[in-house]
Structure 1
Amino acid sequence: MSTTGERSTGTVYEQVQASPEFADLRRRLRRFVFPMSVAFLAWYLAYVLLASYAPGFMAIKVLGNINIGLIIGLLQFVSTFAITTIYVRYANKHLDPAAEKIRQQIEGAE
């Protein structure tokens, strides 16, 4: 966003999108989302592959009728909640302050 006296082209939103602050915000988001998505998908794929190709392993009883497959399946839910919690903390610390600054710039420019 131009703070000098020169005339800017595009809407305020296009200007913000082209700004270094917005690029930094996108970079911060991607730095979290892409690795976390890859890790979760690898974890889920491992579960599916074990269920498909290692049914004997997944059927090993741990306690009563509870087997390894059930435990790993339930851990999928646990990991989803953990990732959500980690993301919320990350967003509160790294994304939300930058987004708020950009929002204030937009509202001040309108």
Structure 2
Amino acid sequence: MRYDDPWYDALASGWGELDGTGVPADVVPPARREREEGAMVAADVYLEVQRSAAFQEVRSRYRRFVVPAVIVFLAWYVGYVVAATTAPGLMARPVAGAVNVAMVAGLGQFLTTFLLTWAYARHARLRRDRAALELRWDTQELTRGVRGGTS
């Protein structure tokens, strides 16, 4: 099977695999080295889509959610670890019965993980999925036109 997708990791294919004669295959298969004109045009379609305003908007929506979420979550996690190591008296303070601050904060880590997962899925569903599907559809239509029919 041959992939004309420029984002296909051709270097990873063939590593350590035998070519049928007992000899390891080339890192890049020979068919991959010789690019035909149609493959170059298909690659240009992907590059054109990547440079498009719609693609950049989907990527920026992704970054606008993920970067702050990662920063907040890592700050919360590092704060928990630092507090656990530098303030054992605070973390050992009882909250209710045998439950102490460290246990509540530790369970809070799990809770925030689930909340962040829910928020990410909701953000993706409401702000990115439709635009990403439209981009995928447009890309498939453009590559189908380049290849001259259905593929």
Q: TM-score, normalised by structure 1?
A: 0.89
Instruction: Percent identity, please.
Output: 42
Unaligned 5+ segments in structure 2 are 1-40, 144-151
Give the structure with the higher percent helix.
1
Which aligned segments of 4 or more residues in structure 1 are displaced greater than 6 angstroms? none
Q: Deviations over 1:18-74 (max 9, x none)?
A: 111111111000000000000000100110110011100000011221100010001
Q: How does 1:36-55 map to 2 (within 5 A)?
A: 36-55=69-88
Distance in 2 between residues matched to 1:106 and 1:28, nearest whole Å:
20
2:56 corresponds in structure 1 to 23
Choose which of 63, 66, 74 in structure 1 pairs with 2:96.
63
Inter-partner Cα distance in structure 1 for 2:64 and 2:96: 40
Q: Specify which structure has the bigger relative contact order, considering alpha-carbon pairs within 8 angstroms and separated by 6 or more residues.
A: 1
Q: What is the aligned length? A: 103
Compute the RMSD of aligned alpha carbons.
1.4
TM-score by length of 2: 0.65
Retained in 2: the 8 A contact 1:25–1:95? yes
For residues 105 and 44 of structure 2, the distance between their equivalents in structure 1, rounded to whole angstroms, comes to 50
